[in-house]
Structure 1
């Protein structure tokens, strides 16, 4: 099993989760983080760190977010999506986007 970053992260990209990850499994894209399923050890320490509740255990991903299992796997291997291991500031307009839904169209790959 692995953990999955869901739609809530899009246009926010809070990085509190990367500071606690013992295996550096997070990858950073332009406006979202994803988890590399080959690196994640299923420790779950990242889940409570996310201020927008974007991280789920794979078996707990909501039905309307199941496509993010594949999105995380694909983007964690995509060119330009590099490992992130240190916390940094969220996106400048993260506060405006944190409670919005239906953000898939906003994902920059």
Structure 2
């Protein structure tokens, strides 16, 4: 089991969760953040600091965002397990589900 970042993060990327993550398993794509399923230790530190409530425990992800589990897992198919997001910085890609979305509006 792991945590999942879902649609409310698209085009927002607040990064509070990145700062809170003790194992550096939250990676930045072009339009959203992704939690590495093999590096996440299920501590839950990221969930309460997300200002848009985009982070869910895998089994608690709302039905309309269930595909975001796949997006979080598949994002790492070609990256493997780098062992920490900080050393990679922003990754110049997104999962196709995210790429296909129109620009998301957020209240500032």
TM range (shorter): 0.7 to 0.9
Deviation for aligned residue 1:76? 3.2
Which of the pair has the greater relative contact order for Cα pairs under 8 Å at 6+ separation? Answer: 1
- Tell me, which stretches of 5 or more residues in structure 2 are unaligned? 88-98, 104-108
The residue that corresponds to 2:12 in the other structure is 12
Tell me, yes or no, if structure 1 residue 83 matches structure 2 residue 85: yes
Q: TM-score, normalised by structure 1?
A: 0.73
The residue that corresponds to 1:53 in the other structure is 53
Deviation for aligned residue 1:104? 5.8
Measure the CA separation in 2 of the matches of 1:104 and 1:15: 22
The residue that corresponds to 2:38 in the other structure is 38
Measure the CA separation in 1 of the matches of 2:40 and 2:102: 25
Tell me, yes or no, if structure 1 residue 105 matches structure 2 residue 101: yes
Measure the CA separation in 2 of the matches of 1:13 and 1:52: 10
- Tell me, which stretches of 5 or more residues in structure 1 are unaligned? 86-102
Deviation sequence 1:13-55 (CA, Å, 0-9, x none) = 1100011111111111111001000000111010011001000
Following TM superposition, where does structure 1 have runs of at least 4 consecutive aligned residues deviating by more than 2 angstroms? 76-79
The residue that corresponds to 1:27 in the other structure is 27
Q: TM-score, normalised by structure 2?
A: 0.73
